[in-house]
């Protein structure tokens, strides 16, 4: 009888020796790469294929060793991939919600089997992403795939979605866009950065093996962002979502301007984020966490330490103690070392003092971890930090100063607040203009948290239920219009064309046609130029109907100044108070319904019955928006970890709206209600063809209780005013109904700073896909969501 070699538990504890290594049928990353001869092709139609011309680029690790090579896709590959994605969309979207959910859930077990291989591959490519985080993503979005037809009944998938990333984009951020797109029934074409390409190709292979239809997920690899531009330009793509650094995102937006494809940008790499320590904080914990966040080997954001003056000496002392034994950080190249040296010397010249972990080596691509104490908010190391182990430190006296410092950056991605005073933490979180706020913690991610990039940190929402809508469209809307080609235009000359005959208001002695006024800062007024433009009757014959002011850049400037003053106070009003103001506005419109119906009749040529019907619909639409004010709100979210999370919808700020020609009154009140119901201030440009109904509505605004400056109406040349809105840095979003040239101009121009755009080409007799008289609830909900940005606040309990 054979003697068993298995040791008892007692014997194991006596010897305390290592047991045999666990065996697994799962291939390691090296074995997977060797199986593919360390040459990874494109993943199209469920299999690996070679690129059309056989070109490839090598991926090296931090030590310079070649990890593998990836194929470089060309035009023929992009066409083949797009065709596969269209077929994949048909197969994937035709499955039931339950079937799609089962496929995504099956991926959870697949990741459990191949998690070691994926983790090793991510480590080799320096694109680290915890397998547990990917499992959580799959579990969350598989449940939403199951519930799509239950909770999102009025919505339908877009079609083929392109997810484009830069070379430094984290894998988690990429999958936070890919998985919800798949869960909603879209097919996805992924254009990953070079470092994330091997893990994404492995995942695509695993996804297909788990039952994802061929073509539902395709991966195209290349050497830089130009491949993403070529993919976005393909006419089969319905939507483009970009994630990575801002420079590549701006290039993508400009290259796709005028092509009729929406582009959402999330610059998640390179943002500056405040790390705020109040005097009531646990200093030990705060310093430990800021060290981990600021000096980690690979970081996506740059942290700026803001410390209350009363505890700054204690914080600096703790920093010196923690940094005493830290080694120098290896930089990618000696050129980066030179940039860091220049940044430190410039900060010292501006009065900063240094706290360093060790002596500064005189040569080589290494630099010690460094805290720059006493820097000013305007210092270059704060506004434009360079890659390297640098942590600027600023001080503040009060909560108000802390918020001012936190909002000083042009970015609005995230912030970390350290205090044991929960009331102070929540007040500060509410006032910070960022998408994520972590209280006594940092860098916590979960897919149930909706996050919008505020200010220059993005134009879309990721995570949570709110992040699903970017991959859906209302079922009631018409199918998207065919993709267009860019118009050849000189962007510097757009909006400079001569307007229709401009007549000085004072030079018309007869004053036979009525001279209307625009509405700025709560007052009816002339344009700054003092000139008026003639309003033609329907059909353009039969004399002049009226004169309206010819507004320009200075009128927009005055309107923005008034809106900026009043918008924060309006946003702080309770939803019920905003609702009452909208109900009051609806009553004011009802009181003047005959006058406004007459203006519609005179301007558009509609019969009085049809004009009165439009006024009645407008009254109803304002009442609907009043009811929306306190019905759609955020709240507490269930978190898988210990702690609580709040989801908060916030106003965008000051918005610009260029109104359509069709249904001039109804379209105006629909847009007006959506913007101010959510807490925004708005600058509206009426239809250049039919401005009189909106000008007649000014009397309703004057008699309302809306704060002066909340709603502004500027008339004149649509193109000229579009340019003024696009070039004003304070305006956060622009909704535009107009020409193809205007849409293209806005897509090209509104990139610095980033503006949220809602564009629709205004066609004869119809505004693109929209019938204003039959707005379904899903359309109104989409408009409401377009007027808000989301903030998540994480509060740990242990």
Handedness of CA 188, 162, 249, 412 (dihedral sign): negative
Give the residue ranges of DSSP H helices in 704-794.
718-726, 740-749, 777-786
Residue 2 pLDDT level (bands cut at 50, 70, 90):
very low
Residue 10 pLDDT level (bands cut at 50, 70, 90):
low
> DSSP string of 65-127?
-EEEEEE---HHHHHHHHHHHHHHHHHHHHS-HHHHHHHHHHHHHHHHHHHHHHHHHHHHTT-
Handedness of CA 12, 14, 15, 16 (dihedral sign): positive
Q: Is the pLDDT of residue 14 over 90?
A: no
Nearest residue to 518 via CA among 552, 568, 494: 552
Q: What is the pLDDT of residue 288?
A: 93
Q: What is the pLDDT of residue 479?
A: 58
Q: What is the pLDDT of residue 112?
A: 84
Consecutive H or E run containing 462: strand 461-462
> CATH 3.40.309.10 residue ranges in the chain?
272-443
Q: Which residues contact 40 (CB under 8 A, 6 or more apart)?
A: 48, 68, 69, 70, 71, 197, 198, 201, 221
Angle at which helix 608-628 crosses helix 777-786, to 10 degrees, equals 60
Q: What whole-number distance in Å separates Cα of residue 545 and Cα of residue 532?
A: 13
Q: What is the mean pLDDT of residues 573-601?
A: 93
Look up residue 296 and give its two tokens: 């980690």
C-alpha torsion 242→101→633→263, nearest 10: 20
Q: What whole-number distance in Å separates Cα of residue 366 and Cα of residue 359?
A: 11
Nearest residue to 67 via CA among 164, 194, 193: 194
Q: 329 has which bridge partners? A: 367
Backbone phi and psi for residue 278, each to the nearest 5 degrees, phi listed first: -90, 165
In CATH, the number for domain 272-443 is 3.40.309.10
The CB density around residue 282, as the number of other CB atoms within 10 Å, is 14
Q: Is the pLDDT of residue 414 over 60?
A: yes
Q: What is the pLDDT of residue 25?
A: 37
Of the listed ranges 386-395, 565-574, 773-782, the one predicted with least confidence = 773-782
Q: What is the pLDDT of residue 578?
A: 94
Q: What is the pLDDT of residue 22?
A: 44
Q: What is the DSSP letter of 575?
A: H
Q: What whole-number distance in Å separates Cα of residue 562 and Cα of residue 707?
A: 10
SS3 358: coil
Residue 20 pLDDT level (bands cut at 50, 70, 90):
low
Q: What is the mean pLDDT of residues 482-488?
A: 79
Q: Is the pLDDT of residue 796 over 70?
A: yes
For 590-722, strand residue ranges (E) read 635-637, 644-651, 654-658, 681-685, 711-713
Consecutive H or E run containing 534: strand 531-535
Q: What is the pLDDT of residue 518?
A: 93
Average pLDDT along the chain: 88
Q: Which residues contact 427 (CB under 8 A, 6 or more apart)?
A: 399
Handedness of CA 662, 664, 669, 671 (dihedral sign): positive
SS3 526: coil
Q: What is the mean pLDDT of residues 368-382?
A: 90
Q: What is the mean pLDDT of residues 696-710?
A: 94
Count the alpha carbons within 13 Å of 380 in the hemisphere toward its beta carbon: 13
Q: What whole-number distance in Å separates Cα of residue 595 and Cα of residue 614?
A: 13
Look up residue 273 and give its two tokens: 């984020």
Look up residue 37 and give its two tokens: 């001869």
Look up residue 219 and give its two tokens: 């991966």
> CATH 3.40.605.10 residue ranges in the chain?
26-62+69-268+465-473, 514-642+650-791
Are the C-beta atoms of 794 and 645 separated by less than 8 Å? yes
Are the C-beta atoms of 449 and 489 separated by less than 8 Å? no
What percentage of residues in the chain have a pLDDT greater than 90? 60
Q: What is the pTM of this model?
A: 0.90
Q: What whole-number distance in Å separates Cα of residue 532 and Cα of residue 223?
A: 54
Q: Longest Cα pair distance anywhere in the chain, in angstroms? A: 122
Of the listed ranges 139-148, 203-212, 359-368, 692-701, the one predicted with least confidence = 359-368
Q: What whole-number distance in Å separates Cα of residue 286 and Cα of residue 305?
A: 10
SS3 736: strand
Most confident of the ranges 352-366, 590-604, 670-684: 670-684
Fold of 26-62+69-268+465-473: Aldehyde Dehydrogenase; Chain A, domain 1 (3.40.605)
Are the C-beta atoms of 694 and 517 separated by less than 8 Å? no
Q: What is the pLDDT of residue 647?
A: 92
Residue 506 pLDDT level (bands cut at 50, 70, 90):
very low
Q: What is the pLDDT of residue 798?
A: 61
Give the rounded distance of the alpha carbon of 688 from its chain centre: 31
Residue 599, classified by CB atoms within 10 Å of its CB into exposed (0-12), middle (13-18) or buried (19+), is buried
Are the C-beta atoms of 280 and 368 separated by less than 8 Å? no
Q: What is the mean pLDDT of residues 466-488?
A: 80
Q: What is the pLDDT of residue 752?
A: 84
Q: Is the pLDDT of residue 21 over 70?
A: no
Q: What whole-number distance in Å separates Cα of residue 268 and Cα of residue 242?
A: 10
Q: What is the pLDDT of residue 5?
A: 54
SS3 467: helix
Q: What whole-number distance in Å separates Cα of residue 792 and Cα of residue 737?
A: 32
Q: What whole-number distance in Å separates Cα of residue 186 and Cα of residue 472?
A: 9
Q: What whole-number distance in Å separates Cα of residue 396 and Cα of residue 405?
A: 8
Q: Is the pLDDT of residue 563 over 90?
A: yes
Distance spanning both ends of the chain, measured CA to CA: 56
Query: Which residue has tokens 């503006």?
Result: 755
Which class would CATH give 514-642+650-791? alpha beta
Q: What is the pLDDT of residue 4?
A: 47
Q: What whole-number distance in Å separates Cα of residue 483 and Cα of residue 730?
A: 31
pLDDT tens string 322-344? 988 788 888 877 888 888 888 89
Q: What is the mean pLDDT of residues 399-414?
A: 93
| CA geometry: angle 782, 786, 792, nearest 5 deg | 110
């Amino acid at each position: 009888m054979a003697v068993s070699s298995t040791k008892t538990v007692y014997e194991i504890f006596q010897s305390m020796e290592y047991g045999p290594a666990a065996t697994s049928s799962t291939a390691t990353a090296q074995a997977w790469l060797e199986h593919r001869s360390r040459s990874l092709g494109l993943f199209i139609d469920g299999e690996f294929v070679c690129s059309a011309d056989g070109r490839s680029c090598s991926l090296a690790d931090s030590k310079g060793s070649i990890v593998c090579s990836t194929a470089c896709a060309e035009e023929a590959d992009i066409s083949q991939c797009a065709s596969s994605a269209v077929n994949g969309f048909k197969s994937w979207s035709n499955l039931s919600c339950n079937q799609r959910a089962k496929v995504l859930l099956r991926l959870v077990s697949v990741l459990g089997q191949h998690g070691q291989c994926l983790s090793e591959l991510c480590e080799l490519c320096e694109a680290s992403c915890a397998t547990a985080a990917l499992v959580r993503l799959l579990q969350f979005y598989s449940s939403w795939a199951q519930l799509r037809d239950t909770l999102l009944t009025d919505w339908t998938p877009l079609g083929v979605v392109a997810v484009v990333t830069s070379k430094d984009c984290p894998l988690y951020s990429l999958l936070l866009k890919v998985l919800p797109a798949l869960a909603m029934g879209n097919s996805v074409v992924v254009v990953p950065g070079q470092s994330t390409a091997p893990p994404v190709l492995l995942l695509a292979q695993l996804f297909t093996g788990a039952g994802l239809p061929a073509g539902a997920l395709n991966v195209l690899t290349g050497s830089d962002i130009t491949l993403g531009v070529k993919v976005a330009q393909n006419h089969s793509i319905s939507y483009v979502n970009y994630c990575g650094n801002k420079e590549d995102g701006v290039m993508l937006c400009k290259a796709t301007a005028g092509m009729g494809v929406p582009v959402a940008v999330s610059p998640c790499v390179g943002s500056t984020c405040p790390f705020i320590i109040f005097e009531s904080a646990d200093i030990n914990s705060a310093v430990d966490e800021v060290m981990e966040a600021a000096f980690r080997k690979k970081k996506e954001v740059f942290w700026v330490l803001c410390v209350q003056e009363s505890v700054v000496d204690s914080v600096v002392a703790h920093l010196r103690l923690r940094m005493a034994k830290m080694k120098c950080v290896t930089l990618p190249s000696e050129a980066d070392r030179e940039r860091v040296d220049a940044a430190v010397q410039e900060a010292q010249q501006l009065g900063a003092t240094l706290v360093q972990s060790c002596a500064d080596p005189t040569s080589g691509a290494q630099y010690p971890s460094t805290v720059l104490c006493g820097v000013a908010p305007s210092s270059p190391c704060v506004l434009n930090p360079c890659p390297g182990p640098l942590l600027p430190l600023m001080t503040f006296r009060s909560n108000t100063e802390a918020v001012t410092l936190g909002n000083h950056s042009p970015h609005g991605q995230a912030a970390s607040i350290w205090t044991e005073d929960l009331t102070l933490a929540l007040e500060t979180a509410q006032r910070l203009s960022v998408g994520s706020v972590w209280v006594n913690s940092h860098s916590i991610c979960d897919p149930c948290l909706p996050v919008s990039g505020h200010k220059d940190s993005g134009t879309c929402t990721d995570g949570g239920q709110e992040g699903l809508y970017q991959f859906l469209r209302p079922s009631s809307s018409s199918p998207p219009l065919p993709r267009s080609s860019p118009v050849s235009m000189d962007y510097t000359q757009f909006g400079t064309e001569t307007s229709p005959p401009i007549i000085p208001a004072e030079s018309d002695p007869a004053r036979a046609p009525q001279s209307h006024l625009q509405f700025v800062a709560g007052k009816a007024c002339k344009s700054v130029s003092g000139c008026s433009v003639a309003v033609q009757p329907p059909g353009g014959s039969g004399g002049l109907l009226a004169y309206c002011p010819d507004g320009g850049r200075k009128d927009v400037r005055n309107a923005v100044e008034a809106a900026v003053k009043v918008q924060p106070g309006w946003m702080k009003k309770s939803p019920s108070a905003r609702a009452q103001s909208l109900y009051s506005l609806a009553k004011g419109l009802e009181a003047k319904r005959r006058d406004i119906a007459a203006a519609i009749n005179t301007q558009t040529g509609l019969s009085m019955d049809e004009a009165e019907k439009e006024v009645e619909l407008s009254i109803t639409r304002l009442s609907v928006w009043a009811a929306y004010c306190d019905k759609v709100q955020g709240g507490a979210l269930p978190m898988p970890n210990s702690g609580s999370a709040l989801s908060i919808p916030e106003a965008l700020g000051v918005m610009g709206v260029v109104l359509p020609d069709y249904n001039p009154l109804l379209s105006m009140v629909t847009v007006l209600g959506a913007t101010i119901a959510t807490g925004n201030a708005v600058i509206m440009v009426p239809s250049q063809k039919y401005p009189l109904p909106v000008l007649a509505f000014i009397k309703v605004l004057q008699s309302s209780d809306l704060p002066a400056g909340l709603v502004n109406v500027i008339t004149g040349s649509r193109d000229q005013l579009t340019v003024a809105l696009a070039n004003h840095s304070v305006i956060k979003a622009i909704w535009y109904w107009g020409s193809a040239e205007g849409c293209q101009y806005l897509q090209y121009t509104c990139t610095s700073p980033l503006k949220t755009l809602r564009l629709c080409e205004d066609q004869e007799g119809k505004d693109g896909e929209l019938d204003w008289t039959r707005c379904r609830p899903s359309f109104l909900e989409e408009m409401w969501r377009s007027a808000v940005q989301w903030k998540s606040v994480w509060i740990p309990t242990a």
